[in-house]
Structure formats: structure tokens, C-alpha cells
Amino acid sequence: MGRYLEMINSPADVKLLTQDQLITLAQEIRDELVTALSKSGGHLGPNLTSVGSVRTERDLLEAVVYPSASFVRGYEPMILVTKSGEQLGGVLHKDAPDEVVIATGPETETRVARAEIAELRPGTVSLMPQGLDAQMSPQDLADLIAFLKSMK
């Protein structure tokens, strides 16, 4: 099936599409994003595939603009200091009597034996990067919130 997404290499290519083709392209982009978001490892935070059914637009805006204002349960930031002085910040993926697994990024986690831990305490800054909104126009931000709200 000839997907428009694969035929687009520049803004000029988009301008050649008809209104109907643009609608199909928008759907292809949406499907692509939903697939990417649904895969584990895509977001260190909670799976966003149904975030629109449990959060209001206001909550979603706050999550993006002020990520550290509140934390989703189970994704609170933690600071781990090892006995050798190494400091790690992340979310706990495992908190067992013998070891702790801390995820420091979507694809990176570190396993630390309980005996090696000097300190494990809650952090105050979300792993979710601050300032995403500063990198986009108000319209892009509105589109992002509408997209997240449509994830049901």
C-alpha cells in the first residue's frame, strides 16, 4: 500500500497533495506516533496510549509545561547514591530486598545491589524534561495537547 508518509521528503512534497490526500497523510502520521508511543521504551514515564481518557487538557498541559509540579504514581523521581559515591537519578523499576533497578532514561537502567546503596531518597525534579514548551510555538503546544487528549 503506497503510503504518503514514505513519499514525503520536503515541505514542497506536502504542497502537492490534495485535501483528501492530506487527510490520509495526517492519519498515517497519527498511526505512526501511536505505534511509537505504544511501544515500551518509548517514554520513560507512563504509557501514553490512553492518557486522554484519564487526564483533562489542563492536566496534560501541566504535565508538559510544569513536569515537576506533581508526579504520576510509580514514576516519582528517585536519587540513588552508591557507597562508592556514584549518584544516579531515575525512576525505580525494581525495589527488592537484594537489589534495586533504577531507570535513568527510556532505554537505560542500572542494577545496584542493595549492599552497595548508601542512600535512596525521593527527588524533587521530574525525569520528564522541563522546557519542552519553550521549543515549540503556542500552536504546536496546542496541537500536542489535543493529540495527547485524543489518545484514548
d(CA 7, CA 28): 12
Q: Which residue, 21, 110, 123, is CA-closest to 68? A: 123
- Which of residues 78 and 112 has its CB atom nearest to ligand HEM in the complex? 78
Q: Strand 117-122 relative to strand 78-82: parallel, antiparallel, unpaired?
A: antiparallel
CB of 42 to ligand HEM, least distance (A): 9
- Which of residues 17 and 34 has its CB atom nearest to ligand HEM in the complex? 34
DSSP label of 17: S
Among 87, 94, 105, 130, binds ligand HEM (CB under 6 A): 105
- Which of residues 13 and 140 has its CB atom nearest to ligand HEM in the complex? 140
- Which of residues 55 and 102 has its CB atom nearest to ligand HEM in the complex? 55
CB of 17 to ligand HEM, least distance (A): 26
CB of 79 to ligand HEM, least distance (A): 14
Q: Contact, 87 vs 79, CB < 8 A?
A: yes
Residues with Cβ within 8 Å of residue 62, at least 6 apart in sequence: 69, 70
C-alpha cell at 23: 487527510
Q: Strand 78-82 relative to strand 108-113: parallel, antiparallel, unpaired?
A: unpaired
Instruction: Indicate whether 41 belongs to the interface with ligand HEM (CB under 6 A).
Output: no
Q: What is the footprint of ligand HEM within residues 56-85 (CB under 6 A)?
A: 59-60, 63-64, 67, 71-72, 75
Vertex 37, ends 39 and 127: CA angle to 5°? 100
Interacting residues toward ligand HEM by CB under 6 A: 43-46, 48, 51, 55, 59-60, 63-64, 67, 71-72, 75, 91, 105-106, 126-129, 132, 144, 148
